[in-house]
């Protein structure tokens, strides 16, 4: 005759969190790998600023982002470009009667100030009205 009610059964009412922890670790690894791939443009060590303004429009697809690395090479998005090609590209882009003639400039922290001024002058000559100089927020 089988015992009823007095013995221990093999069923447990506890929650097993080990599979959930495994899934969370896999998701964390996936996000750690894919997040750097989502950056637009090239990687530049931006200068630090205490109170930079947020510019969410810089992350839009249609925004014009020009980057300058520490060697002074220009990039339009991820595409390497010369100064004369940049001038021609900006003239062509902003010659259609655009209202918002804004570009965003990402210049490396180690770049000479004079080089940044040359690029800003070249952009102004091409008809750009507003140039956003991008910076990282300084940690307090």
The pLDDT tens digits for 59-72 are: 777 788 888 988 88
Q: What is residue 23's predicted lDDT score, i.e. its pLDDT?
A: 93
Q: What is residue 5's predicted lDDT score, i.e. its pLDDT?
A: 56
Split into its structural domains, the chain has a count of: 1
Residue from 34, 24, 33, 106 nearest 65 by CA: 106
pTM: 0.65
Is 32 inside a domain boundary?
Answer: no
Is 11 inside a domain boundary?
Answer: no
Is 73 inside a domain boundary?
Answer: yes
Residue from 96, 105, 94 nearest 129 by CA: 94
Is 54 inside a domain boundary?
Answer: yes
CA–CA gap between residue 101 and residue 103 (Å, rounded): 7
- Structural domain span for residue 98: 48-137
CA–CA gap between residue 101 and residue 87 (Å, rounded): 14
Mark the ranges of the chain whose per-residue pLDDT is less than 50. none
Q: What is residue 7's predicted lDDT score, i.e. its pLDDT?
A: 58
Is 8 inside a domain boundary?
Answer: no
For 45, phi and psi rounded to 5 degrees? -80, 95
């Amino acid at each position: 005759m089988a015992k009823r009610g007095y013995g221990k059964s093999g069923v447990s009412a506890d929650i097993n969190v080990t599979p959930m922890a495994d899934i969370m670790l896999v998701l964390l690894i996936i996000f750690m790998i894919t997040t750097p791939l989502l950056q637009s443009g090239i990687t530049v060590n931006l200068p630090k600023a205490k109170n930079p303004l947020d510019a969410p429009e810089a992350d839009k697809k249609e925004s014009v982002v020009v980057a300058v690395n520490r060697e002074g090479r220009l990039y339009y998005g991820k595409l390497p470009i010369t100064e004369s090609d940049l001038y021609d590209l900006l003239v062509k882009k902003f010659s259609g009667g655009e209202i918002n003639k804004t570009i965003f400039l990402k210049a490396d922290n180690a770049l000479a100030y004079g080089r940044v001024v040359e690029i800003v002058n070249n952009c102004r000559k091409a008809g750009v009205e507003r140039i956003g100089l991008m910076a990282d927020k300084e940690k307090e």
